[in-house]
């Protein structure tokens, strides 16, 4: 069963825009056992579209067309699909009436070009679009002696996603063999991809019925576990068995066994353990606080903090003695610890965390190179710091520094 | 002249990975007048690859294959291209010797599977890969009576980009008609896409030799201007003429006429005008500071600030009287202005900017709904605030709030 996704739109062939709908569709389709064999991106040109669709019909069983359903001259998906199938479009009276009412309700005149949105393929099922004017279409037809399922979906993500979930997933389930697919996502930080694979491969290779994928990126590794069985219970059981074994092996490196982000985990445990947190950031300049406050509800445990880019502010907001900065430098374990202690005391939080370092690309020296970062944690009992050496560009170093700080907090809480 | 990009790799057909190389290649190709007609993503399966390449050869003049050049069994691009062209691969003795030396230099044994990286197509030009083991190939050949240019490039961006720039761009320039393409990017904020288009269309439609594209996203609109001429001077002159006219019409909404980000512009003007900035953030929780400090060199004008998530910290770090919060609420013009004034005074900055609002999804009331944000600016002469109503989710509201604050600072400086 081959499935192909075709994204339609000349803007998707520029340097500035990219198809992202297909990632969503792929995730949903994988859940019902459908893998993607091809993705094609094609512009708003009739000839190119027809040839792309014809190629898709020859090599795939399920064809998903996204975009090109609007009212403008550039919207050619309906016409191109009809030409590729060798059939004629039919204007649907019911759709015309509904569209006219929609415009009347908005008190806007309906120009004639809108009518093409009411053209349907023979035998198609119209999929009502609750979030836009152009309906989708489901076509179950034959092509050169083979059964083909063709979906035409609107391009805007806010229209496509709900339409696919409500109208396409149940229909696809209905025609596909019953497969129940259980998935689990483990996340770990502080360990590299190859070290993790060396540690985990001896375990996951023995689970021949569970597919394990290791992905690295954004300062963490993800383990994607997938298992397909006749019964969902059996699939879930195998995924959970493997997940437990991998978690045990990864030990403290694992921070999430169900896909949560590190900031979600930190916010969750802060509240659970009834702790409060404040931060003092130098080189990350607000990135750590921004990540924490991106989580709704973080205000219950996160008090705030200070961005102490200048040395004066390190003293004013976190009480670092100017002499400490003079003696050890602003990027030092001593200053990081003083910042963590100071921000905790000045805010009344139970935990203080601080970051000071050199994010680059300028400002490094032989003694204190770009990428040198001190991360400190302070609670009522003790204050300590870790010296880190991060690689990459400014963005990467800042991201790793914030990750390390979040992970220090997580380990303290768990 | 049709150009097609084919990205090879089964991981690019999962929900977790996406081809981004093609955006880079598209930008570079556009600069020499080549547009992309198709992008295809295909997995590491011989049959699918051969059919994808054959389709590409039939419909495109330039074919760029990315990925599938490594040493593993899954790396099949060379074999598939040979099959699609109906030719045989030849093992290149010079490449074998070079690869052996490379492994010897690394003091690592070279396993036999590495040798497939030394297989070349008949008549191909080998493109040395300075950043990896698999070389690229340039093939100028015939297919069904038409000339085809085929590029095989390694998949990792760090290998592909320099190889394309150094070895492919000059060769493509050599075989393409001379076209000099000038581009310009204007950026504006505070005006919507359709309002901008209504304002600007009467101007840009009269420049029939310049292509104008309006893109909306991330709280700003971008205007991409492109003009192709025989002489670069003439192309640049026309682009600049149109850019000036559009800038004039957009007036204060334009913040950049050469692609710079809003944070770059703010940091640039802070230094130029010898002003210093400090921030006080409530609902954005560090996002504003993080955006400013993402710019290298921002430390010369940006002192830091406070993240005052809790009311106590609004008082402790920015001197907001508790009675002011009690009377007007933490989300109010009065508190925003007090925060801006307080952070300026407490840090000694010449400019203070503050944000307080309700980012949601929880915490809204009828009187103060989700999306209500006050942004305030304070200098030695005056302090004022603006009331904003942003739509969308938490992330979007926070992003818009930080954008508004940056724009207030920009307008104050210009």
Q: What is the rounded CA–CA span in Å between residue A280 and residue A356?
A: 9
State the CATH number of the domain containing residue A131.
3.40.980.10
Do B187 and B141 reside in the same domain of the chain?
A: no
Do A317 and A225 reside in the same domain of the chain?
A: no
Q: What is the pLDDT of residue A238?
A: 96
CB-CB contact of B306 with B353 (8 Å): no
Q: Which residue has the tokens 């009212």?
A: A71
Do B156 and B38 reside in the same domain of the chain?
A: yes
Residue A242, token pair as written in the block: 């493997």
State the CATH number of the domain containing residue A305.
3.90.950.20
Pairing of strands B220-229, B180-188: antiparallel
How does pLDDT run across B86-143, given as a tens digit for each residue? 999 999 999 999 999 988 988 888 888 889 999 999 999 999 998 888 899 999 999 9
Residue B153: which pLDDT band, with cuts at 50, 70 and 90?
very high
How does pLDDT run across B247-297, given as a tens digit for each residue? 999 999 999 998 899 999 999 999 999 999 999 999 999 999 999 999 999
Q: What is the rounded CA–CA span in Å between residue A395 and residue B132?
A: 24
How does pLDDT run across B358-394, given as a tens digit for each residue? 999 998 999 999 999 999 999 999 999 999 999 889 9
**Cβ-Cβ contacts under 8 Å, A213 against chain B:** 14, 16
Residue B209, token pair as written in the block: 């030799």
Q: What is the rounded CA–CA span in Å between residue B370 and residue B391?
A: 8
pLDDT at B57 over 90: yes
Choose among B38, B316, B317: nearest Cβ to A48. Answer: B38
How does pLDDT run across B179-234, given as a tens digit for each residue? 888 989 999 999 888 888 889 999 999 999 999 988 887 789 999 999 988 888 99
Do B27 and B119 reside in the same domain of the chain?
A: yes
Residues 6+ apart with CB under 8 A from A313: A306, A307, B278, B303, B304, B347
Average pLDDT, 10 consecutive residues per value, chain A (414 residues):
95 92 95 93 96 96 96 92 97 93 86 91 94 93 95 95 97 89 92 87 94 86 90 93 96 92 97 98 98 96 96 96 97 98 97 97 93 97 97 93 97 94
- Mean pLDDT, range B238-250, rounded to an integer: 96
Q: Within a 10 A sphere around the Cβ of B173, how many other Cβ atoms?
A: 13
Is the CB of A37 less than 8 angstroms away from the CB of B13?
Answer: yes
Do A218 and A362 reside in the same domain of the chain?
A: no
Is the CB of B346 less than 8 angstroms away from the CB of A222?
Answer: no
Range of the domain at A184: 180-256
State the CATH number of the domain containing residue B239.
3.30.70.2860
Choose among A14, A304, A307: nearest Cβ to B309. Answer: A304
Q: HEC states along B361-376?
A: CCCCCCCCCCCEEEEE
Is the CB of A303 less than 8 angstroms away from the CB of B317?
Answer: no
Do B110 and B241 reside in the same domain of the chain?
A: no
- Tell which of B135, B151, B175 closes a domain: B175
Q: Considering the entire predicted model, what is its pTM?
A: 0.87
Q: What is the pLDDT of residue A328?
A: 97
Question: Which residues between 129 and 188 in chain B have a beta carbon less than 8 angstroms from any beta carbon of chain A?
Answer: none
Do A30 and A111 reside in the same domain of the chain?
A: yes
Lowest mean pLDDT among A104-113, B35-44, B257-266, B333-342: A104-113
| Backbone φ/ψ region at B75: left (φ over 0), alpha (ψ -120 to 50), beta | beta
**Arithmetic mean of pLDDT over chain B:** 94
Do A220 and A268 reside in the same domain of the chain?
A: no
Do A247 and A344 reside in the same domain of the chain?
A: no
What percentage of chain B's residues is helix, strand, coil (to nearest 5)?
Answer: 45, 25, 30
Nearest CA distance, A136 vs chain B (angstrom): 23
Q: What is the rounded CA–CA span in Å between residue A279 and residue B230?
A: 57
CB-CB contact of B13 with B74 (8 Å): no
Do A313 and A243 reside in the same domain of the chain?
A: no
> Angle of helix B262-272 relative to helix B394-413, nearest 10 degrees?
30
Is the CB of B362 less than 8 angstroms away from the CB of A36?
Answer: no
Q: What is the domain count for chain A?
A: 3
- Tell which of B256, B291, B306 closes a domain: B256
In a mutational test of the B interface, the residue from A10, A15, A20, A394 whose CB has the highest number of chain B CBs within 10 Å is A15
Q: What is the pLDDT of residue B181?
A: 86
Do B48 and B170 reside in the same domain of the chain?
A: yes
Choose among B51, B299, B360: nearest Cβ to A59. Answer: B51
CA-nearest residue to B361 within chain A is A296
ω into residue A122 within 30 of 0, thus cis?
no
- Tell which of A256, A286, A303 closes a domain: A256
CB-CB contact of B284 with B295 (8 Å): no
Q: Which residue has the tokens 């950026």?
A: B187
Is the CB of B294 less than 8 angstroms away from the CB of A395?
Answer: yes
Do B240 and B92 reside in the same domain of the chain?
A: no
Q: What is the pLDDT of residue B331?
A: 97
Q: What is the rounded CA–CA span in Å between residue B35 and residue A99?
A: 36
Q: What is the pLDDT of residue A103?
A: 87
């Amino acid at each position: 069963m081959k499935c192909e996704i075709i994204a339609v739109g000349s803007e998707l062939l520029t340097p500035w825009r990219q198809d992202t709908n297909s990632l969503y569709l792929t995730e949903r389709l994988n859940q019902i056992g459908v893998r993607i064999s091809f993705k094609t991106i094609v512009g708003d040109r009739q000839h190119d579209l027809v040839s792309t669709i014809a190629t898709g019909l020859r090599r795939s069983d399920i064809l998903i067309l996204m975009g090109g359903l609007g009212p403008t001259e550039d919207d050619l998906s309906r016409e191109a699909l009809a030409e590729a199938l060798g059939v004629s479009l039919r204007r649907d009276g019911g759709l015309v009436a509904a569209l006219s009412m929609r415009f009347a309700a908005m008190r806007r005149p309906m120009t004639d070009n809108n009518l093409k949105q009411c053209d349907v393929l023979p035998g198609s099922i119209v999929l009502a679009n609750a979030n836009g004017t152009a309906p989708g279409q489901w076509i179950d037809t034959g092509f050169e002696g083979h059964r083909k399922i063709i979906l035409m979906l609107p391009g805007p993500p806010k229209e496509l996603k709900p339409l696919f979930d409500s109208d396409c997933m149940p229909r696809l389930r209905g025609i596909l063999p019953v497969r129940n697919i259980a998935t689990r996502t483990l996340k770990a930080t502080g360990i590299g991809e190859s070290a993790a694979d060396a540690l985990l491969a001896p375990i996951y290779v023995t689970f021949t019925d569970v597919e394990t994928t290791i992905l690295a990126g954004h300062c963490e590794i993800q383990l994607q576990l997938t298992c397909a069985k006749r019964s969902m219970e059996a699939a879930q059981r195998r995924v959970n068995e493997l997940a437990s074994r991998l978690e045990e092996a990864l030990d403290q490196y694992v921070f999430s066994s169900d896909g949560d982000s590190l900031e979600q985990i930190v916010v969750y445990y802060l509240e659970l353990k009834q702790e409060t947190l404040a931060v003092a950031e130098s080189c990350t300049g607000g990135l750590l606080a921004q990540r924490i406050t991106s989580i709704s509800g973080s205000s219950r445990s996160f008090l705030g903090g200070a961005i102490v880019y200048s040395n004066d502010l390190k003293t004013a907001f976190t009480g670092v003695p100017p002499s400490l900065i003079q003696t050890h430098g602003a990027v030092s374990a001593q200053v990081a610890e003083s910042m963590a202690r100071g921000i905790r005391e000045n805010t009344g939080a139970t935990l203080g965390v601080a970051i000071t370092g050199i994010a680059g690309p300028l400002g490094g020296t032989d003694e204190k190179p770009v990428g040198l970062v001190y991360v400190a944690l302070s609670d009522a009992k003790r204050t300590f710091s870790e010296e880190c050496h991060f690689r990459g560009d400014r963005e990467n170093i800042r991201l790793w520094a914030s990750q390390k700080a979040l992970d220090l907090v997580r380990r303290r809480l768990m």
